Amino acid sequence: MQKRFIDKRISRKYEVGSRKKKNINFLLLTSYFLLLLSGCAERSPYKYYNIYTLVEPEIIKNGIKQPPSYDKEFEDDRISIKFTFKEKKIYFRLKNKTDKELKILWDRLSFADTNGALQRVTGFKNIFTDKMDKQPVQEIQAKTEINDLIVPIDNIELMEEWTWYVRPLFNQTDEQSIANMGKIFSISMPIEIAGDVIDYNYKFRIDHVVPQSTWVY
């Protein structure tokens, strides 16, 4: 039987060529994704960033009053809650620490702006519907938690069918944004546990207003 021999030089040349082709393909693919990302860049209308602190309710640990929370977290023997602020929405995570069912009374929940004006709010379930002002009671079972959001109803406008516009909570677009610093606003969130209603009133302060990058992805 005749043996077939392959020139090693040809084999090495083929391997080098194959690696070069793979490298070129990788560079082309990387360049494509970089172009795709740069194409998604847009100029943000928000030129300033607010830094918030939770100033009330006071947090007492081991008999010592804690400083205002930059993490915007509160905890007692019934609940723990953490707020996260975006320009147009307020997100929160609420945990029921008790052994009983907890209810958020959305129909009594409100947002008070920096001028003290009260506004009704909506949450995730009914936002962008004609039932925003009829938010149902939200139940949280014992030892569980939920994630939701808060948006003042007056900040939501129907532009056309299926198109809604949400106005920012505060001016963050020009130099007048700096006037926000030091102002107080609040969220009233009544909850019910075993027939008892506890009205949690969370007060926040805009501690700092700082410039931010105008380019976002």
Whether residue 197 is found in the same domain as residue 152: yes
Whether residue 100 is found in the same domain as residue 203: yes
Give yes or no for a contact between 68 and 55, defined as CB atoms under 8 angstroms apart. yes
> Burial code of 159-188, b = ≥16 C-beta within 10 A, e = fewer?
eeeeeeeeeebbbbeeeebeebeebebbbb
Phi/psi zone of residue 175: left (φ > 0), alpha (ψ -120 to 50 degrees), beta?
Answer: alpha
113-159: pLDDT as tens digits: 999 999 999 998 888 887 887 888 999 999 999 999 999 999 888 88
Range of the domain at 34: 7-40
Whether residue 13 is found in the same domain as residue 105: no
Whether residue 75 is found in the same domain as residue 18: no
Whether residue 101 is found in the same domain as residue 200: yes
Does a structural domain hold residue 64?
Answer: yes
Structure pTM? 0.74
| Structure confidence at residue 26 (pLDDT) | 52
Whether residue 133 is found in the same domain as residue 155: yes
Whether residue 134 is found in the same domain as residue 50: yes
Between vectors from CA 185 to CA 183 and to CA 133, what angle results, nearest 5°?
Answer: 150
Give yes or no for a contact between 137 and 106, defined as CB atoms under 8 angstroms apart. yes
Whether residue 98 is found in the same domain as residue 179: yes
pLDDT band at 95 (very low <50, low <70, confident <90, very high): very high
Q: What is the DSSP string of 10-37?
A: HHHHHHHHHHHHHHHHHHHHHHHHHHHH
Q: Which residue has the higher pLDDT, 43 or 47?
A: 47
